[in-house]
Chains A and B, each alone.
Chain A
Amino acid sequence: MDFDFAFMFEAFLAALHYLPTTLLLGFLPLVFGSIIGLGIALIRHYKIPILSVLFKWFVTIFKAIPVVLILLVSYLVFSDSVDKIADSLSWSIRFSDLDRRWIAIFALTLYATSGLSEIFRGALASIPKGQIDAAYSIGLTNIQVLRRVMIPQVIPLALPLLNNTLISLIKASSLVSMVSVVDILNGALIEANVNYRYLEAYIAVSLIYWAVCAAIEAVTAGYGKYANKSRRRQFA
């Protein structure tokens, strides 16, 4: 078997061109999912009636659905409803004009949210109850307790755990060709379609995924060291 290093490099460059898309598909769902996930975690932490039960089911269900299915169903729902909704609101937007990446971001957000909400829920639960009592005892309101005591301790606790989610998202983003988004994988495959040198293309892309994930791990490790050094939050 001959392995064409030159073509691998070519595919590598072609794929690299789409790195921003892959990063976008990793980071945006992480950010959106974290915001929504924190909201869900708070609703469940405070046991807000109806909503907390609703989101409990949301989390249970979405934890069990493969990301491919979320992606495909989102695509079908969007393709079916965007034109209708746009018509009824007399917007000029068409489904065919829509950047497909938004569908991917939507689906990946849905995929990440349940796990993220569990991370934040765990972090919320690990704040010592006594500190919250103390915060109320000095006369803070519910919102102030949340903003001044809980959130500032939840974020640093959750942050290092987000790297796993980000890595899952980056890897899951390789499926977006199913909704015709070109990411690094798809970009390399387009190159290989010409000469059928798929192995070279796959390996080239693997290298990029590996480098991205290694970078994420390095940043996390650096943060962990920083957090340990400043040791601002230790839960005795």
Chain B
Amino acid sequence: MIEIKNISKSFGKNNILKGIDLSINKGEVVVILGPSGSGKSTFLRCLNFLERADAGEISIDQTKVEFNKAKSKEILALRRKTAMVFQQYDLFHHKSAIENIVEGLIIARKIPKHKAYEIGMDLLDKVGLKEKRDAYPHQLSGGQQQRIGIARALALTPEVILFDEPTSALDPELVGETLDVIKKVAQTGVTMIIVTHEMSFAYEIADRVIFMEDGVVVEEGTPKEVFEQTREERTKQFLARFAYAR
């Protein structure tokens, strides 16, 4: 169970997150929708301290951390309960696929090398890239890189995986394979928060959909509620833009 309370963040005078609350059950998949600039990335980045939120708190598994007060030890502990998948994949360019996956296990978690590589090979298999074990990021397609990025996150067996638009940098024909991997992972009961603009994917994968605008949660509900029985005018306007795409 993850509980996020009243998270706020400003960049200079711009108030980007205006007190967001969210609690997530174990195994739940939460999809966040919202227009560009609404603060979705900032929200995810605050959750694992890539940005320092100005106020609010998060508790994962009884460990409670206040964003503005957290010491580096607490930040590290929290980061080790979360993992992130990035829009630009952000693999380590000087490391092969398998090395990317095991880095966190060996260096952060201090798991013995042979054990880490075993886990890594299992994950490569899971994302369908066993034969790319020794390939470097530049030798992989965007979709393949992102699947390695997902494996890197999974390796850490985090309490929650944060996906920030995992497919929006991909060529259209590579989106499918990546979404399939995410769906497969979701079925194994991993807790996820996913920011995406892929509406049909959101509909299919989400247990809960959140629509965010201007740093606040405008509407929240099951996919059916949000997509088909939309209550808020702003959500309707946003979804209307995707009506043809669906």
Contacts and interface: CB of A to CB of B under 8 A. Distances in A.
A and B: real partners? yes
Interface of A: 128, 130-131, 133-142, 144, 148-149, 152-153, 156, 231-236
Interface residues of B, number: 31
A9 B148 CA distance: 62
Pick the 5 closest A-B CB pairs, nearest first: A138-B104, A139-B108, A130-B90, A134-B90, A139-B80
Given A130-B86, A148-B107, A137 B94 contact: no
B93 interface: yes
Contacts of A135: 92, 103
Interface string B192-209: 000000000000000000
B82 interface: yes
A136 B94 contact: no
Contacts of A236: 93, 137-138
Contacts of B80: 139
Contacts of A130: 86, 88, 90
B152 to A, nearest CB: 7
A234 B138 CA distance: 7
B48 A137 contact: yes
A161 B108 CA distance: 33
B65 to A, nearest CB: 14
A233 B137 CA distance: 9
A184 B145 CA distance: 54
Contacts of B79: 136-139
A139 B92 contact: no
B103 A148 contact: yes
Nearest to A128: B90
Interface string B63-96: 0000000001000100110111010101111100
Nearest to A130: B90
Name the residue in A139, A153, A234, A235 with the highest tally of chain B Cβ atoms < 10 Å from its Cβ.
A139
A141 to B, nearest CB: 6
Given A131-B92, A131-B93, A134-B92, A140 B107 contact: yes
**Chain A at the B interface: SS class:** helix
A149 B83 CA distance: 17
Given A135-B92, A138-B156, 11 more contacts: A134-B90, A136-B48, A137-B82, A137-B84, A138-B153, A142-B72, A156-B94, A233-B93, A234-B93, A235-B93, A236-B137
B104 A139 contact: yes
B92 A149 contact: yes
A236 B92 CA distance: 11
A137 B50 contact: yes
Nearest to B104: A138
A140 B108 contact: yes
B136 interface: yes
5 contacts: A130-B86, A139-B108, A148-B103, A231-B136, A234-B93
A136 B93 contact: no
A148 B139 CA distance: 21
A136 B50 contact: yes
B109 interface: yes
Given A130-B88, A235-B93, A137 B107 contact: no
Contacts of B86: 130, 133-134
